[in-house]
């Protein structure tokens, strides 16, 4: 069993949901996971007390949460020594602008100086019900241009949960040695 730290940043809640699902998947695989919101403050247990770390953040106006940037910068030494994954969550990752989603993820990594073991672009959600009138209008225009949902009386979830599962399984298989590998090493 491995201990997994999942630190996330979110604006409307989709990345929190994704972080929770990553924790559930880790649990199904026999691991223990702790989920921490980067906006709450410092991580209660330092990353070096874990076997692997996942960082998940959402993109808004081309940037990830400042609290996530602060966490990664403050923990960079520890993150460098551990298996790590970065899930960059954005509507662009739906395929409407994959190069744009990649640019945002790359900008975060340059800004923090972090080079995780795995980087994944993950589609988020259009949470019209959580937007104020101005943001709702702006997001509707963006969605119309990209071919997304424009009915502002409902929300649209674009996260590919099967792909997320696959990514988590791959990360954990690479990051955490299987129990039989540990026995063979003795």
Together in a domain, 87 and 174: yes
The pLDDT value recorded for residue 180 is 52
Together in a domain, 82 and 70: yes
Q: What percent of the chain has pLDDT over 90?
A: 74
Together in a domain, 135 and 110: no
- By residue range, what is the domain housing residue 130? 126-158
Confidence class for position 142, pLDDT limits 50, 70, 90 = confident
Together in a domain, 120 and 150: no
Mean of all residue pLDDT scores within the chain: 90
Domain count, the chain: 2
Q: Residues 115, 146: contact at Cβ < 8 Å?
A: no
Q: What is the pTM of this model?
A: 0.90
For residue range 62-93, list pLDDT tens digits in order: 899 999 999 999 999 999 999 999 999 998 88
Q: Buried (b) or exposed (e) across 89-110, using 16+ Cβ within 10 A?
A: bbbbbbebbeebbbebbeebbe
Together in a domain, 26 and 116: yes
Distance CA 37, CA 27 (A): 19
For the domain that residue 166 is a member of, what is the CATH number?
3.40.50.360
Q: Residues 82, 52: contact at Cβ < 8 Å?
A: yes
Confidence class for position 112, pLDDT limits 50, 70, 90 = very high
Q: In the chain, what is the straight-line distance between the N-terminal and C-terminal CA atoms, in Å? A: 17
Q: Residues 48, 80: contact at Cβ < 8 Å?
A: no
Average pLDDT of the segment spanning 26-41: 93
């Amino acid at each position: 069993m491995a201990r997994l730290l999942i630190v996330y940043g979110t604006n409307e809640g989709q990345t929190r949901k994704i972080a929770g699902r990553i924790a559930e998947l880790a649990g199904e695989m026999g691991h223990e996971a702790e989920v921490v919101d980067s906006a709450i403050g410092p991580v209660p247990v330092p990353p070096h007390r874990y076997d692997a770390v996942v960082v998940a953040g959402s993109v808004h106006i081309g940037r990830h949460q400042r609290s996530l940037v602060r966490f990664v910068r403050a923990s960079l030494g520890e993150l460098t020594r551990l298996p790590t994954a970065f899930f960059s969550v954005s509507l662009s990752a739906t395929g409407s602008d994959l190069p744009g989603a990649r640019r945002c993820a790359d900008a975060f990594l340059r800004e923090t100086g972090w080079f995780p073991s795995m980087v994944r672009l993950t589609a988020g959600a259009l949470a019209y019900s959580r937007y104020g009138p101005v943001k709702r209008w702006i997001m509707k225009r963006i969605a119309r241009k990209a071919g997304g949902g424009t009915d502002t009386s409902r929300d649209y979830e674009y996260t590919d949960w099967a792909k997320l599962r696959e990514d988590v399984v791959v990360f954990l298989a690479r990051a955490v040695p299987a129990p039989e590998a540990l026995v063979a090493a003795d």
